[in-house]
Structure 1
Amino acid sequence: MAESADVIGWGILATGKIARTFATDLAQVPGARLAAVGSRAIAPARAFADQYGDDGTRAHGTYADLLADPAVDVVYIATPHALHLDGARAAFEAGKHVLCEKPLTLRTSDAEEMVRLARTHDRFLMEAMWMACHPVVRQLQGELASGRFGAPRHLQAELGFRVDAPLTDRMFAPELGGGALLDMGIYPLTLAHLMLGEAESLSAEAVITETGVDLDIAIAGRYPGGALATMNASMTSWSSRRAAIATDLGRIEIGPQFHHPEQAVFVPGASSAEPTVLTGIEPVLGVGYGNEILEVGRCLREGLRESPLVPHAQTLTLLRQMDALRASCGIRYPDDPA
Structure 2
Amino acid sequence: MEEPVRWGVLATGKIAESFARELREVPGARLVAVGSRTQASADRFAAAYGGRPHGTYRALVEDPEVEVVYVATPHALHLEDTRMALEAGKHVLCEKPLTLNLSEAETLVALASTRGLFLMEAMWMACHPVVRAVADGLRSGRFGAPRQLHADLGFVVQVPPEHRLRDPALGAGALLDMGVYPLTLADLLLGPATEVRATAVLDERGVDVDVAVAARHGEAVSVSTASMTSASPRTASLATDTGRIDLPGDFHHPAYAVWTPVGGEPERIDPPEPVLGSGLGNEAAEVGRCVREGLGESPWVPHARSLRVMQLMDDVRRQIGVRYGADAAGVAT
Common fold by TM > 0.5: yes
1:148 shift after superposition: 1.3
SS in 2 for 1:171: coil
1:166 matched to 2:160? The reply is yes
> Where in structure 1 are there 5+ consecutive unaligned residues?
none
Q: TM-score under structure 1 normalisation?
A: 0.95
Structure 1 runs (4+) deviating above 6 angstroms are none
- What's the secondary structure of 1:170's corresponding residue? coil
Report whether the alignment pairs 1:105 with 2:99.
Answer: yes
What is the one-letter code of the residue matched to 1:100? C
Q: Counterpart in 1 of 2:273?
A: 282
TM-score relative to the length of structure 2: 0.97
Please name the residue that 1:255 is paired with. 248
Which residue does the alignment assign to 2:292? 301
1:288-307 CA deviation, whole Å, 9 max, x = no partner? 00001000000011000111
Q: Distance in 1 between matches of 2:307 and 2:7?
A: 25
1:119: Cα distance to partner?
Answer: 1.4
**Conserved in 1, the CA contact under 8 Å of 2:100 and 2:326?**
no
**Distance in 2 of aligned mates of 1:51 and 1:173:** 29
Verify the 8 A CA contact 2:174 2:226 in the aligned structure 1. yes
In the alignment, structure 2 segments of 5+ residues that lack a partner are: none
Q: Partner residue of 1:36? A: 33
**CA distance, structure 2, for counterparts of residue 116 and residue 154 of structure 1:** 34
Q: Aligned to 2:11, which of 6, 9, 14?
A: 14
Q: How does 1:208-219 map to 2 (within 5 A)?
A: 208-219=202-213
Equivalent pairs counted in the alignment come to 329
Is 1:122 equivalent to 2:116 in the alignment? Answer: yes
**Secondary structure at the counterpart of residue 165 of structure 2:** helix
Is residue 74–residue 97 contact of structure 1 (8 Å, CA) maintained in 2?
Answer: yes
> Are 1:244 and 2:223 counterparts?
no
Could you tell me how far apart the structure 1 residues matched to 2:97 and 2:105 are?
A: 9
**Is the 1:138–1:281 contact (alpha carbons within 8 Å) kept by the matching residues of 2?**
no
CA contact (8 A) 2:120 2:302 kept: yes
**In structure 2, what is the Cα distance between the partners aligned to 1:221 and 1:281?**
30
Report deviation, 1:167.
1.2
Instruction: Letter of the 1:243 partner, please give it.
Output: A
Q: Secondary structure at the match of 2:277?
A: coil
Q: What is the one-letter code of the residue matched to 1:36?
A: A
CA distance in 2: counterparts of 1:65 and 1:155, whole angstroms: 45
Tell whether 2:53 aligns with 1:59: yes
Identical aligned pairs, as a percentage? 58
Deviation at 1:207, TM superposition (A): 0.4
2:186 alignment partner AA: A
SS of the residue corresponding to residue 154 of structure 1 reads: strand
Check the 8 A contact 1:180/1:214 in 2, yes or no. yes
Specify the alignment match of 2:186 in structure 1: 192
How far did residue 334 of structure 1 move? 2.0
State the Cα deviation string for residues 106-133 of structure 1 (Å, max 9, x = none): 0000000011111122111000000010
CA positional deviation for 1:230: 1.0
| CA–CA distance in structure 2, aligned partners of residues 152 and 305 of structure 1 | 30
* Equivalent residue number for residue 230 of structure 1: 223
The one-letter code sitting in structure 2 at the alignment partner of 1:326 is R
Contact 2:151 2:237 in 1 (8 A): yes
Q: Distance in 2 between matches of 1:127 and 1:84?
A: 10
1:319 maps to which residue?
A: 310
